[in-house]
Amino acid sequence: MLAMVEGGVDAIEVGVPYSDPGMDGPVIQVAVDAALRGGSRVAHVFDAVREVSPRVPTVVMGYWNPMEKYGPARFAVDLKAAGGSGAITPDLIPEEAQPWVDAAYAQELAPVFLVAPSSTDERIATVGRTNRGFVYATAVMGVTGARSAVGSRAEELVARVRAQTDLPVGVGLGISNGEQAAQVAGFADAVIVGAALVAALRDGGPARVRQLTEDLAAGVRR
Amino acid sequence: MTLPDATGHFGPYGGRFVPEALVAALDELGEAHRTSQQDPDFVAELDRLLTTYAGRPTPLTDARRLSEHVGGARVLLKREDLAHTGSHKINNVLGQALLTKRMGKKRVIAETGAGQHGVATATAAALFGFDCTVYMGEEDTRRQALNVARMRLLGAEVVPVSTGTKTLKDATNEAFRDWVANVETTHYAIGSVVGPHPFPAMVRDFQRIIGVEARQQCLDLVGRLPDAVVACVGGGSNAMGIFHAFLPDADVALIGCEAGGDGVDTGRHAAPLTAGSPGVLHGARSYLMQDEDGQTQTTTSISAGLDYPGVGPEHAYLRDSGRAHYRGVTDADAMAALEVLAKKEGILCAIESAHAVAGAFQWLSEQAESSDRVVVVSCSGRGDKDVDTAARWFGLVTAEEVAEAELVRAHEGEQP
Ligand SMILES: Cc1ncc(COP(=O)(O)O)c(C=O)c1O
C-alpha cells in the first residue's frame, strides 16, 4: 500500500478477505484464499487502514457477512477510529442495508453502494441518496479482473448517474493500465483499480505495484 | 400469511444480498414467475412436461418389509428416484426451463454437487435447445464421475471448479460469477431453495408437487395423514417440496435430515440448521456454517449433494418457528439405512436420500409407541451414481479391483 501511495494514488480501497467473494474474479479469489490460509482476520483490516489513512483517504471493501458478524455498529466505530472514510459493500444493496447505513451515518462514514449498467434510473437515484462520498459505477456487467477494453456502457452509465446525483462518480472493474485509466478519467471523477494491482503484487512485489500505480496515475492526469 | 413477503423475506431470513448488477435480472425473473403462475398455458405446458416427460406422478411405495424391520410402523416412500434423470431435481429444472424460454433467454447455467441437478439441467437444456454450462467442484467431479459423463453426453459443458473448497459452495460462487457477466442472455437455473429472492420461493413452488401428490396418495392409501414426513436437507429443495403441502397440517411432524458427517459434535459435518448460526451466504440470510469472523467453514459429508454449508431461508424460518425439526444424520447411519433399504425393498437410493431413511428410523425409535405410526419418507433420488462410493464403504470391492476395473474400462473406451 505504501508503494501505491508513492506511486501516486489519491485514495486506497482495502479489501476484507472473505471466503466467498462473489463479485471477484480468479485473481482476487486466489489472493483471498491465500490471505485466509495465512491467518488473516477481519480486524486486521483496521490495522491496514490505520497504517495508510494518514497519507491518503482510505475506504474498505467488504462483503456483508464478515461485517455483519463483526457487528455493523462495532465495525463502523473501529473503522472510524482507524481513520477510515467509508466502506464499499459489493453484495449489499440499499434495501437490505439499513443497519449498516445507520451505523455508518452515526460515525460520519461513507456507505458506498454500487450501480451497474443494468440498474434502473430509480435504483441509481436511491443509491445516490443513500451513498456518501461517491458512487461506484461498475464499468461492465461482470466480476473484478483485467479486461482488454473498458466497457462501452461505462460512459453512458456515468451520465445516467450524474442525472440523479451530484456525488462524484468512480468507475471500476477491469481497468488495468494507464491508457484505460486516461479513457475513463475522460468521463468519470475517479478510476478504481483492484485486480490489476493484486496481480502486480503477485507477479512483481511492491516494485511492480508502484510502477503500475505511476502508469495509472499518469493516465488519470493525462 | 403466505411467505415470503413482497421483498422475499421469510421472517428475518431470505432477501437479496447480491451485486447490484443482478437486481434487474432477479426482478425480471420474479415477474416472469409471478405472471406464469397465473398463465393457464404455462401451467398446462409444465403439467404436460411433468406427466409425459418426467413421469409424474411418482408413486408412493408401501415399504412392507421395511415396515416389518422397524417393528410395524408404516413406511411410505415418495419415489422421486423414479422421476426422469433419477431425482426430484427435474421438477425444478423443467419449470425454470419454461421460464427461461418465457424470458427469451437461450443459455442456462447451473451449479451441481452430486451431479443430479447438473444432469437435470443438461437434460432440460437438450430438450429446449439451450446452451448449457454446469459448474461442479473439482472434488465432486471425482466423486461423481458418472454424472460428469452423463452431462457431457447430454451436450452440456462441465466446468470443474478448483477454487476454495472445490465443492458445491465454490461451484455456486462460479455460477454467480458467470451469471453477473452474462445475465442478459443467460438464466441461472439454481438447483435448490437457496439464493436471492425469488429463487427460494420459485424453486419451492416447482417442487411443491412432491408434497401435493404425497399428501393425496397417503390419504388414498392409508385413509389418513401421516404422523411424520421426513426428507434430507442439502439446500433443502426436496424437503421444502414435500413439506409445503403439509404445513397447515399441524399434527404432521416435519423432519429434515442434514448431513451429520462424522457426527454433529465433531465439527466435521454439513448441518447448518442443527449446528450453525444465522448469516448471509449466496445471496440470502439463513443458517450457515461459519467461523467467528463470518468466513464460511468447510463441510464434511459422504454425500456430495448434502455437502453444503448453507440452507434455504424458508427452512431457517421453519426451524425457528418450530414447525419443522432438523437433525444431523451421520455418514455411518445413512449408509446403514441405504443398505437396509436395498436389502429389504430392492431400492438402491441416493446417499442423500438415505439420510432421510435413517432419520425416519431414528424418529420412529424415539416414539413411545411406534407400531401404528405412518411415516412418509422422501426418496429424493436413485443410487446409481453412488455405487462406487457404496462399494468402497462396504468393502464390496478392494482398491485393487477398482483400479483394475478402471483400467479395463479405459481400454474398452479407447477409440479403435
Ligand atoms: C438425490 C438428491 N437428494 C437430495 C439432494 C439435496 O438437495 P435438496 O436439499 O435441495 O433436495 C440432492 C442434491 O444433489 C440429490 O441429488
pLDDT in tens, B86-117: 999 999 999 999 999 999 999 999 999 989 99
Give the pLDDT confidence score for residue B398 in this predicted structure.
77
Q: Which amino acid is at A171?
A: V
| Residue B111 bears catalytic tag | yes
The pLDDT of residue A110 is above 90 = yes
pLDDT in tens, A176-215: 999 999 999 999 999 999 999 999 999 999 999 999 999 9
Give the pLDDT confidence score for residue B137 in this predicted structure.
95
Strand runs labelled E in B131-283: 131-137, 157-161, 186-188, 228-232, 253-261, 277-281
Give the least confident one: A21-35, A51-65, A162-176. Answer: A21-35
- Residue A142 half-sphere exposure toward CB, CA atoms < 13 A: 19
Cβ atoms within 10 Å of B389's Cβ, excluding its own: 18
The pLDDT of residue B26 is above 80 = yes
Phi, psi of B41 (to 5 degrees): -65, -40
Of the pLDDT bands very low, low, confident and very high (cuts 50, 70, 90), residue A220 is very high
Residues B295, A36: C-beta atoms closer than 8 Å: yes
- Measured CA to CA, the distance from residue B305 to residue B112 in angstroms comes to 8
Q: Tell me whether A98 touches chain B (CB under 8 Å).
A: no
Mean pLDDT of the B334-362 span = 98
Q: What angle do CA B52, B55, B58 make, to 5 degrees?
A: 145
Of the pLDDT bands very low, low, confident and very high (cuts 50, 70, 90), residue B409 is low
Give the pLDDT confidence score for residue B149 in this predicted structure.
95
| Mutation target vs B (from A20, A37, A112; most B CBs, 10 A cutoff) | A20
- Measured CA to CA, the distance from residue B92 to residue B83 in angstroms comes to 12
Quickly list DSSP for B344-377: HHS--B-HHHHHHHHHHHHHHHHSSS-TT-EEEE
* Ligand 1 midpoint to CA B1 (Å): 28
Of B24, B169, B279, the CB nearest to A65: B279
pLDDT in tens, B197-223: 999 999 999 999 999 999 999 999 999
Give the pLDDT confidence score for residue B159 in this predicted structure.
97
| Residue B380 bears catalytic tag | yes
| Residue B36 bears catalytic tag | no
The pLDDT of residue B1 is above 60 = no
Q: Tell me whether A95 touches chain B (CB under 8 Å).
A: yes
Phi, psi of A65 (to 5 degrees): -60, -45
**3 state SS of B221:** helix
Of B20, B169, B280, the CB nearest to A93: B20
Q: Tell me whether B255 touches chain A (CB under 8 Å).
A: no
Q: Which three cell numbers stand for residue B141?
A: 467431479
Q: Tell me whether A41 touches chain B (CB under 8 Å).
A: yes
Instruction: Write the CA distances from B165 to A49, B119, B249, B282, B330, integer angstroms.
Output: 29, 22, 40, 15, 21
User: Which ligand 1 atom minimizes the distance to the CA of B193?
Assistant: 10
pLDDT in tens, A117-175: 999 999 999 999 999 999 999 988 888 887 777 778 999 999 999 999 999 999 999 89
Q: Which of residues 40-69 of B touch A (CB under 8 A)?
A: none
Give the pLDDT confidence score for residue B218 in this predicted structure.
98
Placement of cell 450524474 in the chain? A162
Q: Tell me whether B173 touches chain A (CB under 8 Å).
A: yes
The pLDDT of residue A113 is above 80 = yes
* Ligand 1 midpoint to CA B309 (Å): 14
Q: How far is A63 from chain B (nearest CA, A)?
A: 9
Give the pLDDT confidence score for residue B410 in this predicted structure.
66
Q: Which three cell numbers stand for residue B174?
A: 462460479
Share of chain B above pLDDT 90, in %: 90
Of the pLDDT bands very low, low, confident and very high (cuts 50, 70, 90), residue B412 is low
For a pocket test of ligand 1, which of B207, B243, B306 has the largest count of ligand atoms closer than 8 A to its C-beta? B306
Of A68, A119, A123, the CB nearest to B294: A68
Q: Tell me whether B280 touches chain A (CB under 8 Å).
A: yes
**Searching chain A, which residue's CA lies closest to the CA of residue B175?**
A22
Which residues does chain A have within 8 Å of residue B21's beta carbon, measured at their own beta carbons? 114, 116-119, 138, 141-142
Give the pLDDT confidence score for residue B397 in this predicted structure.
82
Of the pLDDT bands very low, low, confident and very high (cuts 50, 70, 90), residue B144 is confident
Phi, psi of B232 (to 5 degrees): -80, 155
- Measured CA to CA, the distance from residue B21 to residue B186 in angstroms comes to 14
Of B16, B164, B182, the CB nearest to A93: B16
Q: Tell me whether B16 touches chain A (CB under 8 Å).
A: yes
Establish, for the pair of chains A and B, how many residue pairs have beta carbons separated by less than 8 Å: 116
Phi, psi of B393 (to 5 degrees): -60, -45
Mean pLDDT of the B163-168 span = 87
Q: Which of residues 293-352 of B touch A (CB under 8 A)?
A: 293-296
Residues having CB closer than 6 A to ligand 1 are B 87, 113-114, 116-117, 192, 232-239, 305-306, 350, 352-353, 380-381
The pLDDT of residue B416 is above 70 = no
**Can you give the three-state secondary structure of A164-219, one letter per residue?**
CCCCCEEEECCCCCHHHHHHHHCCCCEEECCHHHHHHHHHHHHHHHHHHHHHHHHH
Q: Which three cell numbers stand for residue B71?
A: 417393528
Of B15, B21, B296, the CB nearest to A20: B296
- Measured CA to CA, the distance from residue B320 to residue B315 in angstroms comes to 9
Give the pLDDT confidence score for residue A35 in this predicted structure.
95
Residues B281, A91: C-beta atoms closer than 8 Å: no
pLDDT in tens, B217-233: 999 999 999 999 999 99
Q: What does the mean pLDDT of chain A come to? A: 95
**Searching chain B, which residue's CA lies closest to the CA of residue A97?**
B17
To which H or E segment does residue A49 belong? helix A44-52
| Mutation target vs A (from B20, B170, B183; most A CBs, 10 A cutoff) | B20
Of the pLDDT bands very low, low, confident and very high (cuts 50, 70, 90), residue B164 is confident
Mean pLDDT of the B256-275 span = 97
Give the pLDDT confidence score for residue B145 in this predicted structure.
86
The pLDDT of residue A43 is above 70 = yes
Mean pLDDT of the B136-155 span = 92
Give the pLDDT confidence score for residue A149 in this predicted structure.
78
**Searching chain B, which residue's CA lies closest to the CA of residue A17?**
B295
Radius of gyration of chain B from Cα atoms? 20
Give the pLDDT confidence score for residue B405 in this predicted structure.
72
Q: How far is A7 from chain B (nearest CA, A)?
A: 30
pLDDT in tens, B288-334: 999 999 999 999 999 999 999 999 999 999 999 999 999 999 999 99
